[in-house]
Amino acid sequence: MTVPRETIAQRMNAFGKACDRLGIKVTHQRMEIFRVVISTEEHPDAVTVHRRVKKRIPTVSLDTVYRNLKLLADHGLLAIVGMSQESLRFDGNMQEHHHFACVKCGLIRDFSSGAIGGLTMPDEAKTFGAPLSLHLEVKGICATCQKSAKGG
Amino acid sequence: MTVPRETIAQRMNAFGKACDRLGIKVTHQRMEIFRVVISTEEHPDAVTVHRRVKKRIPTVSLDTVYRNLKLLADHGLLAIVGMSQESLRFDGNMQEHHHFACVKCGLIRDFSSGAIGGLTMPDEAKTFGAPLSLHLEVKGICATCQKSAKGG
DNA sequence: GCACTCCATAGGAAGTATTCCTATTTAACA
DNA sequence: TGTTAAATAGGAATACTTCCTATGGAGTGC
């Protein structure tokens, strides 16, 4: 349930190299923020990360935590769970369906899939409690954003 | 791409009946809020819903929109997309994995699944743009919340 | 029609979450 | 060390959501 010490050490090592490769500085704050996130399986929010980083760096600001979490997510070192930076979205389609979500503009579209229609609840999900629903979440770039990227 | 007029009419009809069944009043505001959400496939946020409802009911308040969207979601007439009312969550696990999310307490846990490991991108998802990633989102009640529900 | 009751609403205030602004600090590198 | 561009702290500003409370309105019994 906890992340092994050696796994963390390995990833901290890889982190330094990744920063060099990406041309971003390896600051004390940045390292500790990354360490907090990879050291837990509980998917903390920014305020939680901030609280934990403050134990080592009491003056770290919340803005720095946000800035770095987003930067690291942009570079693929972390992931943002759920809809990124969006407000709540509402869906009037109550039939079983899946989602395509554009990571650029936040567009969300429903689809249903013949091939995936008969998806069954994986046993692994049952170990956490009682599953209620199951759907696919596809992230990608929507056609509109693809076009505007070419244009720009 | 747009929702057919008759589908909307049918669902508005069913909406009235559902409200009666649930013992909640069919107010003008509530009807228009519902109508806005079922009339589009774009998964609007609360502010967008508010803006559209105001075209018909200029004095409608944002609070009313929020209150009703949540009420209708609670009763299963609408769905909330993504993590409900939560702040951003960060994930240090960059291997392919799926999520179990507790709808009560917001707990999120990763799992990987042998059975679902070889999931392939459904063709339907490609019609919206370029898919980048694919994962399962399981919603349910975690073991802890199950226990406390029994206790209470 | 009138009073009563309860649910729903408007509008603004309050509470969170996130981002912006800018003077200062610091990592990286010669 | 000195230089420089990137990064930071801390507070202000913004955005999103919920709370508070007086008011409104539908249904019920009279």
A117 confidence band (pLDDT: 50, 70, 90): low
> By the 8 A CB rule, do B33 and B44 touch?
no
State the smallest CA–CA distance between residue B50 and chain A in angstroms: 12
d(CA A71, CA A69): 5
Q: Among residues 85-124 of chain A, which lie with CB inside 8 Å of chain B? A: 85-94, 98-100, 102-103, 107-113, 115-116, 119-124
State the smallest CA–CA distance between residue B118 and chain A in angstroms: 12
Q: Name beta bridge partners: A134.
A: B138
With contacts defined as CB-CB under 8 Å, which chain A residues touch B135? 136-137
Q: Between chain A and chain B, how many beta carbons pairs sit less than 8 Å apart?
A: 254
Model pLDDT for residues A10-61, shown as the tens digit of each residue: 999 999 999 999 999 999 999 999 999 999 988 899 999 999 999 999 999 9
d(CA B112, CA B119): 11
Model pLDDT for residues B26-39, shown as the tens digit of each residue: 999 999 999 999 99
pTM of the model: 0.83
The DSSP string of chain A is -PPPHHHHHHHHHHHHHHHHHHT----HHHHHHHHHHHT-SS--BHHHHHHHHHHH-TT--HHHHHHHHHHHHHTTSSEEESSTT---EEE---SS-EEEEETTT--EEEE--TTTTT----HHHHTTEEEEEEEEEEEEEEHHHHHHHHH-
d(CA A14, CA A20): 10
Contact A137 B137 (CB under 8 A): yes
Write down the pLDDT at residue A16: 95
Backbone phi, psi, residue A118, to 5°: -90, 35
State the smallest CA–CA distance between residue B15 and chain A in angstroms: 12
d(CA B100, CA B148): 19
Q: Residues 6 or more apart from B84 whose CB is under 8 A from it?
A: A88, B103, B106
Asked if pLDDT for residue B129 goes beyond 80, the answer is: yes
Residue B67 CB-density burial (10 A; 0-12 exposed, 13-18 middle, 19+ buried): middle
Residue A112 CB-density burial (10 A; 0-12 exposed, 13-18 middle, 19+ buried): middle
Q: Residue written as tokens 């529900």? A: B149
Write down the pLDDT at residue B84: 47
Write down the pLDDT at residue B130: 94
- Dmax over CA atoms of chain A, in Å, equals 53
Percent of chain A with pLDDT over 70: 91
Question: Which of B119 and B118 is assigned the larger pLDDT?
Answer: B119
Beta strands B129-142 and A129-142, pairing class: antiparallel
A152 confidence band (pLDDT: 50, 70, 90): very low
Model pLDDT for residues A76-99, shown as the tens digit of each residue: 899 888 654 456 778 888 788 888
Write down the pLDDT at residue A92: 81
Q: Give which of A111, A104, A96 is closest to B126, Cα–Cα.
A: A111
- Amino acid at position A9, single letter: A
Question: Which of B151 and A36 is assigned the larger pLDDT?
Answer: A36
Asked if pLDDT for residue B83 goes beyond 60, the answer is: no
d(CA B69, CA A101): 21
Write down the pLDDT at residue A86: 56
Contact B140 A132 (CB under 8 A): yes
Quick one: CA dihedral A10, A7, A66, A80, positive or negative?
Answer: positive
> By the 8 A CB rule, do B122 and A113 touch?
yes
Q: Among residues 33-52 of chain B, which lie with CB inside 8 Å of chain A? A: 34, 37-47, 49
Three-state DSSP class for B107? coil
